[in-house]
Chains A and B, each alone.
Chain A
Amino acid sequence: AQKVTQAQTEISVVEKEDVTLDCVYETRDTTYYLFWYKQPPSGELVFLIRRNSFDEQNEISGRYSWNFQKSTSSFNFTITASQVVDSAVYFCALSSASGYALNFGKGTSLLVTP
């Protein structure tokens, strides 16, 4: 069975602070995919990144960066110099290569205040 744990329910930071959102996953598959989605108040889930299990390279996209470590089954997401527009709920998700559904964590609600 697959499981995604986002232990941080809510995080509040002041603008320009760096913030890391944690994601720990469980799977017996050797090939799997990890995702991060952002859900702003409007409700739509916005795709941020996909990473397959064979690619442990960290990725940076602007102020966003992701750290994938198979040894600790973690796929953490860091926002550098946070902005108010980053306020949203962030979901980490997992799927297998042969799977058909995304298994989501419970999400982390991030509030960035001016």
Chain B
Amino acid sequence: KAGVTQTPRYLIKTRGQQVTLSCSPISGHRSVSWYQQTPGQGLQFLFEYFSETQRNKGNFPGRFSGRQFSNSRSEMNVSTLELGDSALYLCASSLGRGGYNEQFFGPGTRLTVL
């Protein structure tokens, strides 16, 4: 079974630009969550999607958004990039909703904002 895939693996952008990251969950998994990882803040929950609906969102500004498609693939978008958005963005998929579900993580997209 293929794991969670994320594209691209690396991105370099400049301040003010916007970026879209993609995540393909494990086949059959309907829940996709996104996390941001930075040296200072560690791993922080961004949002959770299930059945094409955002179910929950972490404490992030509205510049961070996302969506989920009917095939469970998900994208997240960050607009008006700031230097502080430089991070590793991890996507995780699970069969169902709920933090108790085992979440399988992808390799992440490393975003650098210059």
Query: What is the interface of chain A, defined by CB distance below 8 A to chain B?
Result: 33, 37, 42-47, 50, 52, 91, 93, 95-107
**Interface readout for B87-103 with A: 1 if CB under 8 Å, 0 if not?**
01010100001111011
Contact of A99 among B43, B99, B104 (CB under 8 A): B99
Would B43 and A104 count as touching, CB distance under 8 A?
yes
User: Chain B contact residues: over half helix, strand or loop, or mixed?
Assistant: strand
Would A106 and B98 count as touching, CB distance under 8 A?
no
B window 43-101: CB within 8 A of A: 43, 45, 48, 55-56, 58, 88, 90, 92, 97-100
The residues of A that contact B56 with a CB separation of less than 8 Å are: 100-101
Q: How many residues on the B side are at the interface (Cβ–Cβ under 8 A)? A: 24
User: How many Å from the CB of A6 to the closest CB on chain B?
Assistant: 10
Given A43-B108, A45-B90; A104-B103 close (CB under 8 Å): no
Nearest residue, chain A, Cβ from B108 = A43
User: How many Å from the CB of A93 to the closest CB on chain B?
Assistant: 8
Nearest residue, chain A, Cβ from B45 = A101
B window 9-59: CB within 8 A of A: 33, 35, 42-43, 45, 48, 55-56, 58
Would A52 and B43 count as touching, CB distance under 8 A?
no
A105 CA / B43 CA spacing, docked (Å): 8
24 A–B contacts from the bound complex (CB under 8 Å): A33-B100, A43-B110, A44-B105, A44-B106, A45-B105, A47-B102, A47-B104, A52-B100, A91-B43, A93-B43, A95-B98, A95-B100, A96-B100, A97-B98, A97-B100, A98-B98, A99-B99, A100-B48, A100-B99, A101-B48, A101-B58, A102-B45, A105-B42, A106-B42
A104 CA / B90 CA spacing, docked (Å): 13
The residues of A that contact B43 with a CB separation of less than 8 Å are: 91, 93, 102, 104, 107
The residues of A that contact B100 with a CB separation of less than 8 Å are: 33, 50, 52, 95-97, 99
A53 CA / B43 CA spacing, docked (Å): 22
A97 CA / B97 CA spacing, docked (Å): 10
A88 CA / B87 CA spacing, docked (Å): 18
A86 CA / B97 CA spacing, docked (Å): 31
